């Protein structure tokens, strides 16, 4: 059984790597090396231990790509197209897998803000969740959380709102809504991270 703790992704001078350890970190095996320079890597696993990777790939103009590990050697397969998921350059990538779908949040320069892309792992077809941007205006330092009930949340540095931290969630009827008010930090709030607690959603910034 694989867990996310057994995997790490890192950005190096040349390309990101994915390493695997089967012995609690005593030894590490390289299972992925990007053939081209890539940035803003994100890695996750699903409940059965499958491993997923997403990144901004220089080979296709900095667009977002996502891959799934075959479980053998260094073999990975693209999820959907290898031509890029985002409409343009993608930064601040965060991915999760839930109920047979992969979610990838990023700043899409073609949209001008945060977008959460979603893909059925059966069909490999990607689309923007709600067919719209997830932020009102520019965003950076994006984090993605899917609660146990299946609600999708994002947090980000709200570049269009005094760089404060904002948290939004997706409502199937009304689209993207703020959790509380826009800009919950008293001042600039960078690199926010989300977590689910017994009392609700927590955000660190």
What's the pTM?
0.91
Mean pLDDT estimate for the chain: 92
**pLDDT level of residue 3 (50, 70, 90 thresholds):** very low
**pLDDT level of residue 115 (50, 70, 90 thresholds):** very high
**pLDDT level of residue 17 (50, 70, 90 thresholds):** confident
Average pLDDT over residues 51-56: 96
**pLDDT level of residue 16 (50, 70, 90 thresholds):** confident
Encoding tokens for residue 17?
């790597």
Average pLDDT over residues 130-145: 96
């Amino acid at each position: 059984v694989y867990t996310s703790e057994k995997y790490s992704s890192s950005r190096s001078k040349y390309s990101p790597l994915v390493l695997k350890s089967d012995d609690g970190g005593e030894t590490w095996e390289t299972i992925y090396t990007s053939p081209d320079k890539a940035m803003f890597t994100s890695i996750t696993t699903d409940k059965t231990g499958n491993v997923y990777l997403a990144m901004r790939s220089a080979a296709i103009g900095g667009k977002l790509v996502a891959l799934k590990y075959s479980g053998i050697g260094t073999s990975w397969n693209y999820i959907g197209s290898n031509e890029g998921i985002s409409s343009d350059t993608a930064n601040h990538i965060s991915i999760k897998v839930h109920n047979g779908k992969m979610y990838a949040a990023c700043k899409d320069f073609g949209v001008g803000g945060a977008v959460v892309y979603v893909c059925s792992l059966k069909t490999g077809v990607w689309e923007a969740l709600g067919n719209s941007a997830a932020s009102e205006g520019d965003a950076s330092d994006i984090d993605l959380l899917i609660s146990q009930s299946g609600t999708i949340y994002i947090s980000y540095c709200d570049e269009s709102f005094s760089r404060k931290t904002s948290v939004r969630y997706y409502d199937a009827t009304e689209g993207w809504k703020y959790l509380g008010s826009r800009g919950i930090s008293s001042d600039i709030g960078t690199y926010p991270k989300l977590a689910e607690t017994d009392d609700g959603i927590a955000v660190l910034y």
